[in-house]
Structure 1
Amino acid sequence: MTAPDINSPAEQERYERGLEVLATVDGGSAPAVMDSLADVAPALAHHIVAFGFGDIYARPGLDPKQRQLVTLGILTALGGCEPQLEVHLKTALNVGLTPTEIVESLTHAAGYCGFPRALNAVTVAKKVFAERDLLPIAT
């Protein structure tokens, strides 16, 4: 089985659609992530944009805020995804989630994935909030 040609017109169309979606929600980290893959895994970078954003994120049914809440919960539950969680925390703020909503979603996740993973997620959130001068958070 051969891998899809990421330079084919169909793949480029998916990639362009993904870039458009990504530009509307990105918290500023995506270009650096894609650039970091260019010399070692350009196909992975392509698929993150084409599949992740051009196919999945562009689907109807959930708005960007809802999609980010789902993503934050999944990354928190998985654990070990702190760099990706940081990117999506920035995106969550960018699409309009408040720090209070984000912390509440991470607190809620603790009941399903455990306190250690929720604490790790809150630590990453605190870093992102500090970078954006959003601390302290009123509850």
Structure 2
Amino acid sequence: MNITAAAKQYYEKMFPHSQSKLAETDPEFIELFDNFAFDEVVNQDDLDDRTRMIAIISTLIGCQGIDEFKAMVPAALNFDVTPVEIKEIVYQSVAYLGIGRVLPFLHAANDILTAQGIALPLPNQSTTTTDNRLEAGIQAQVDIFGDSMKDFWKSGAADTKHINQWLAANCFGDYYTRTGLDHLQREMITFCFLLAQGGCEPQLTSHAAANIRLGQDKKFLIKIISQCLPYIGYPRSLNGLRCVNEAAEQSE
């Protein structure tokens, strides 16, 4: 196989002293993929390895790439993504994909961490209670999206307004208020969940705007999409770029 030195070096950083089985069964494919993903893509921009790995494992949950998730979580640990960060990514994804799609990833994360000798459960990260989760969630929405979200939890038709209340109390009050990841990281992983699953372009545009509002600008989001492209393909990446452009135009 004609794999570049840069691709070999990056692969070794991710998976020290390991060899892909596909290199034996599908050497032509591995040459194409490794040279692209582990040389051309990672050297496209200056995104740091830790952020890249957080984005990739979030994206793999979003696109339901369970086998690649199992492969990449150990690589993320090798790039100093912490066990707490990995579990927080999985936990938050439930709000955006539902437990029906996330449960296999939770089991996989637990198996990988246990195999690494990491004791479970990890330290608690929750900062809210049943009494204050709604208030804390509303504040998180305001911090991320702006003052227009103060009363959003009360909006909507009588028979559906409970959904907006759940959005504040559950999605933001239960998850965004947890320690382990800050608001910027949580908005980035949400962007990745939505980018990867497709069909969520209105929400993707909204969260692209939230990222931009927090200082993670258009250039940063393009880097995230670029680094995730090998894992989700071109159609969803191009849709993501369109949403980022729309969000950037709205923020001007």
Tell whether the 8 Å contact from 2:212 to 2:248 is kept in structure 1 after alignment: no
Tell whether the 8 Å contact from 1:72 to 1:89 is kept in structure 2 after alignment: yes
Map Cα deviations across residues 59-105 of structure 1 (whole Å, 9 max, x no partner).
00111111111111110100000111111111101111121111111
1:4 corresponds in structure 2 to none
Alpha-carbon distance in 2 for matches of 1:121, 1:99? 11
Query: Is 1:122 matched up with 2:241?
Result: yes
1:65 corresponds in structure 2 to 184
The residue identity in structure 2 corresponding to 1:69 is M
SS of the residue 1:60 aligns to? coil
2:80 corresponds in structure 1 to none
Alpha-carbon distance in 1 for matches of 2:169, 2:235? 33
Map Cα deviations across residues 5-26 of structure 1 (whole Å, 9 max, x no partner).
xxxxx76632111111111111
Tell whether the 8 Å contact from 1:22 to 1:49 is kept in structure 2 after alignment: yes
Match of 1:21 among 117, 140, 143: 140
1:83 corresponds in structure 2 to 202
How far did residue 34 of structure 1 move? 5.1
In the alignment, structure 2 segments of 5+ residues that lack a partner are 1-128
TM-score (norm 2): 0.45
Over 3 Å counting, the alpha-carbon distance change for 1:46 and 1:71 in structure 2 is: same
Alpha-carbon distance in 2 for matches of 1:124, 1:28? 23
Number of paired residues? 124
Map Cα deviations across residues 27-77 of structure 1 (whole Å, 9 max, x no partner).
577579756634441111111100111110000011111111111111010
Over 3 Å counting, the alpha-carbon distance change for 1:45 and 1:104 in structure 2 is: same
Over 3 Å counting, the alpha-carbon distance change for 1:62 and 1:111 in structure 2 is: same
The residue identity in structure 2 corresponding to 1:90 is A
Tell whether the 8 Å contact from 1:27 to 1:93 is kept in structure 2 after alignment: no
**CA RMSD, 1 decimal:** 2.3
TM-score (norm 1): 0.78
* Higher relative contact order, structure no. (Cα contacts within 8 Å, ≥ 6 residues apart): 1
30-39 vs 93-102, greater mean Cα deviation: 30-39
SS of the residue 1:37 aligns to? coil
Q: How does 1:33-72 map to 2 (within 5 A)?
A: 37-72=156-191
In the alignment, structure 1 segments of 5+ residues that lack a partner are 1-9, 134-139
1:96 corresponds in structure 2 to 215
Q: Which has the larger radius of gyration?
A: 2
68-77 vs 20-29, greater mean Cα deviation: 20-29
Match of 1:106 among 217, 225, 229: 225
**Matched-pair identity in %:** 29
Tell whether the 8 Å contact from 1:27 to 1:90 is kept in structure 2 after alignment: no
